[in-house]
Amino acid sequence: MPRLQPIALESAQGKQRELLDAAKKKLGKHINIIATMANSPAVLEAYLGFSAALGHSKLPAKAREAVAMRIGEKNHCQYCVSAHTAIGKMVGFTEEETVKVRQGEAADPTVQAVLDLADAIAQTKGFISDDQFNAAKAAGLSDEEIAEVVGLVALNYFTNFFNHVAGTEVDFPEVELLEEVA
């Protein structure tokens, strides 16, 4: 049961309505996380801007979705794991690959390097070691890509925490969280 109620598109006004209309136009539908963030147009605008900017990242879509699935799993965010598993399949992951990614494993070396760095950032609250940083560089991640992984981790913590507080109702095919997360 949601603790923050999603804002119905038809009842939204002003900046709230403008942001919801723009999000619906981009996504093709009115989804619960967006509708719930609309309780604060400032929060919704911040999310939409951050998300859109990282959508232009140098990192491929599969790497971006891998971070979202992995961080969502680590933070036990049912909404984000479900949403990003669905999106992950749209960008080319198989069902089996989405489970592996949520466990921190990827067949693609770039995606694996991104997952390893995202895990390190999450585990150390950003205080990664020189060895962890150098491992990302040795795996081929550029300074730009490393900066983008930091941004993706932060964005996904934001959405995970928002959903935990709000109790956002899952409106994607629901994915069960894994028993244990490494």
pLDDT at 88 over 80: yes
Q: What is the pLDDT of residue 1?
A: 84
* Distance separating alpha carbons of residues 43 and 129, to the nearest angstrom: 32
Could you tell me the CA-to-CA distances from 91 to 37, 41, 151 in Å, in that order?
A: 25, 29, 20
pLDDT at 182 over 60: no
Q: How confident is the model at residue 179 (pLDDT cuts 50, 70, 90)?
A: confident
pLDDT at 34 over 60: yes
pLDDT at 167 over 70: yes
Q: How confident is the model at residue 181 (pLDDT cuts 50, 70, 90)?
A: low
Q: What is the pLDDT of residue 180?
A: 63
Question: Model confidence over 102-154: pLDDT tens digits?
Answer: 999 999 999 999 999 999 999 999 999 999 999 999 999 999 999 999 999 99
Question: Model confidence over 60-83: pLDDT tens digits?
Answer: 999 999 999 999 999 999 999 999
Q: Is the domain 61-166 a CATH 3.60.60.10 member?
A: no
Range(s) within the chain of domains with CATH label 1.20.1290.10: 61-166
Give me the percent of the chain exceeding a pLDDT of 70: 98
Give pairs for 146-149: CB < 8 Å, separation 24+. 146/117, 148/54, 148/57, 148/58, 148/59, 149/59, 149/67, 149/114, 149/117, 149/118, 149/121
pTM value? 0.95
Cα Rg of the chain (Å, integer): 16
SS3 143: helix
Rounded mean pLDDT of 6-29?
A: 95
* Distance separating alpha carbons of residues 119 and 129, to the nearest angstrom: 12
